[in-house]
């Protein structure tokens, strides 16, 4: 079945550091790929998405590129801020199906 594997956290970075959170997937067909973020005390919010190979999703300085050849959708940000501290979830959707999520990666950014 479909699955998502993302790097385990927690990840602790200093402000303005470069962020990469790895995500790889296994899916039938051509899934859409998503990154969701959960800030402390809040619900899940869509951060960005990509719906076909080589698409790049971007939002709030975060980027991720849909790489079909490596089945990856790594999340990157060039300069993190304290306000980026949250749990990040990679997810996929293969069709008229529910999302399949990774286990989440907790990011802590310290000033």
Partner 1 sequence: GAGVSQSPRYKVTKRGQDVALRCDPISGHVSLYWYRQALGQGPEFLTYFNYEAQQDKSGLPNDRFSAERPEGSISTLTIQRTEQRDSAMYRCASSQGVENTDTQYFGPGTRLTVL
Name the residues that contact partner 1, by CB under 8 A.
4, 31-32, 34, 36, 42-46, 49, 51, 89, 91, 93-104
Q: Smaller CB distance to partner 1: residue 43 or 111?
A: 43
Look at the chain and count its residues.
111
H or E, element range at 67: none
Considering the complex, state which of residue 70 and residue 96 has its C-beta at the smaller distance from partner 1.
Answer: 96
| Least distance from partner 1 to the Cβ atom of residue 18, Å | 24
Shortest Cβ distance from residue 39 to partner 1 (Å)? 12
**What CA–CA distance (Å, rounded) separates 87 from 10?**
9
Q: Tell the smallest beta-carbon distance from residue 15 to partner 1 (Å).
A: 26
Cβ proximity of 97 and 28 under 8 Å: no
Burial class (CB in 10 A: 0-12, 13-18, 19+), 105: buried
* Residue with Cβ nearer partner 1 (15 or 54): 54
């Amino acid at each position: 079945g479909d699955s998502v594997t993302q790097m385990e956290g927690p990840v602790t970075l200093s402000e303005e550091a470069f962020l990469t959170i790895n995500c790889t997937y296994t899916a039938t067909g051509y899934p859409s790929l998503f990154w969701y973020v959960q800030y402390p005390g809040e619900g899940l919010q869509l951060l960005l998405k990509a719906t076909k190979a080589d698409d790049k999703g971007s939002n709030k300085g975060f980027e991720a590129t849909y790489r079909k050849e490596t089945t990856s959708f790594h999340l990157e940000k060039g300069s993190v801020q304290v306000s980026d501290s949250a749990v990040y979830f990679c997810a996929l959707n293969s069709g008229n199906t529910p999302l399949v999520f990774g286990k989440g990666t907790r990011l802590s950014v310290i000033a």
